[in-house]
Structure 1
Amino acid sequence: MAFGGETIDNFGIIRDFPALSMVTGLLANALGWRREETGNHGRLQERLVLGARMEQSGTRLQDNQNARLSKDDKGWTTWGTPEERAGGAGTYQSPHRRFRDYHADLSMLVVLRLEPSDEPPTLDDLAAALDHPARPLFIGRKPCLPSRRLFAGWHEGETVLDVLRSVPLPTHLPEGARLQWPDGEGTLPGDRLVELCDERNWTSGVHGGWRPIREGRIKDQESPA
């Protein structure tokens, strides 16, 4: 998996938890929406109330990607205009390099609801799309294919945090599990309030703005039966 964060020069870093924009894109891809349907993407992102619980932290891997690009080579882009390599003639003598980080063997429980709940697409629509996606799905980057069914079932709770706590913890987590959830969806002793930039402007293609989220940890005895 690759929960992308801010890209600095040619380094594609990752965060510990999935971004709101990434989950929006995953669901939109499952529904079969095209990138040009920016209004649909933006509205779905506005409606998503999202939380996550790390079930297994795994390890981090870094991929070093190198490509020899000539003056006439062009790259595919999401905004519809081919990208050419900038710089003088000397830049074509060295490879184009970039580094991309990945999570290996990570397991993440994601819970979400939609506000309002009756506006299409509904949660039922999203569940059906995850089980029968219109296109192949990937988690963050195209090489990151799911290893199992993504839809894990239905749970009810007053808040996102209630649901994150109500699902039994795996037995291999004696130290408990890390959580991330929106501010206003409950609190935990010792949690911390963080400002997170993970919303995408689907028209311009860039991220902007900040939203308050909370991060904390629960142990098995703190998780309701």
Structure 2
Amino acid sequence: MRALVLRLDAPLMSFGGVMIDQHGFIERFPGTSLLTGLVANALGWRHGDFDRLQALQGRIEYAARWDVPPQRLVDYHTVDLGQPKMVGYADLKKKGDPKGGWTTRGKVEWRDGASGLGTHIRYRHHWADGMMTVALALLGRNEPNLEDVHRALAHPARPLFLGRKACLPARPLLDPEPIREGVDLFAILRSVPRWDRFGQIQTEAGKMEACWPAHLGMPYGARGEIRRVYDLRDWPNQLPAGSRERAEGVLES
């Protein structure tokens, strides 16, 4: 098997989980839909490329580990829609004035409801000051292939981010030896040297939190469990939808 080795290093990373009320919770590891979006963004695809996005998501398989464990950070957001600069946000909809709305991907959006002029509170969860290694494979022989993704991540069509748009990478995403081979993704991930905070190779033995495909079970050098994660997306309808099983635990280097 061949895999592309990524080094995810950023002041903040956000691996979106199931949102509950105003809390934007996160998963310990990136989801399949997140990696799909990351690769598609680098390739220059658009949200309207539904078929390609859905097909890419179905081909992605990966294993990941925390070389440097992160700290959880909760970002407290408030938006007061009653401020003078926001006045008319709801009313202008009736007048047909597009300047009164928020836009997403060029389409004007409006917020209806009685609380439209109130203060909206959100808690955005992030991982701070961590560094992660990811071994990413593409199943099948369709396009894009691993070399296409390698070139795209080296020279992305658009700026890349790790979860939320404010989560900008602190270093290039590709490992200095980006394409590696092994019997499976767990073996490839385990063969990649562990880095410290400064990108230096660590030679002493240690334990790292990791995830890998559930069908690999518990390989030698791993301890953990199989759990169900909700990390898939219905790209044509732009909705989180679907789940799968993932192995999570500790990898001993």
Please state how far the C-alpha of 1:186 moved relative to its aligned partner: 4.7
Structure-1-length-normalised TM-score: 0.88
Please state how far the C-alpha of 1:149 moved relative to its aligned partner: 0.7
| Aligned match of 1:223 | none
| Aligned match of 1:114 | 138
User: What amino acid is the match of 1:3?
Assistant: F
Distance 1:172 1:146 in 2: 25
| Aligned match of 2:74 | 62
| Aligned match of 2:33 | 21
Distance 1:126 1:65 in 2: 35
1:167 maps onto 2:192 in alignment: yes
Please state how far the C-alpha of 1:172 moved relative to its aligned partner: 8.7
User: What amino acid is the match of 2:126?
Assistant: Y
Equivalent of residue 52 in structure 1, options 64, 80, 100: 64
Please state how far the C-alpha of 1:173 moved relative to its aligned partner: 7.7
With a CA cutoff of 8 Å and minimum separation of 6, indicate the structure with the bigger relative contact order: 2
Distance 1:166 1:28 in 2: 27
The Cα RMSD (Å) is 1.9
Q: Which runs of 5+ in 2 are unaligned?
A: 1-12, 82-86, 92-99, 196-201
Distance 2:45 2:204 in 1: 38
> Any idea what SS the aligned residue of 2:223 has?
coil
User: What amino acid is the match of 1:20?
Assistant: T
| Aligned match of 1:196 | 229
Distance 2:26 2:72 in 1: 9
Contact 1:161 1:186 in 2 (8 A): no
Shift in CA distance, 183/84, structure 1 to aligned 2, threshold 3 Å: same
Q: Percent sequence identity over matched residues?
A: 38
Equivalent of residue 82 in structure 1, options 108, 117, 121: 108
> Any idea what SS the aligned residue of 1:7 has?
coil
Please state how far the C-alpha of 1:51 moved relative to its aligned partner: 1.2
Contact 1:159 1:186 in 2 (8 A): no
> What per-residue deviation string (whole Å, max 9, x for no partner) do you get for residues 165-204 of structure 1?
1123343986410110111235235321111111101011
Count of residue correspondences = 216
Equivalent of residue 216 in structure 2, options 185, 188, 195: 185
Distance 2:129 2:46 in 1: 30
Please state how far the C-alpha of 1:19 moved relative to its aligned partner: 0.5
| Aligned match of 1:131 | 154
Distance 1:60 1:125 in 2: 34
| Aligned match of 1:217 | 250
Structure 1 runs (4+) deviating above 4 angstroms are: 172-175
| Aligned match of 2:170 | 147
Distance 1:172 1:166 in 2: 12
Greater shift after overlay, 208-217 or 40-49? 208-217
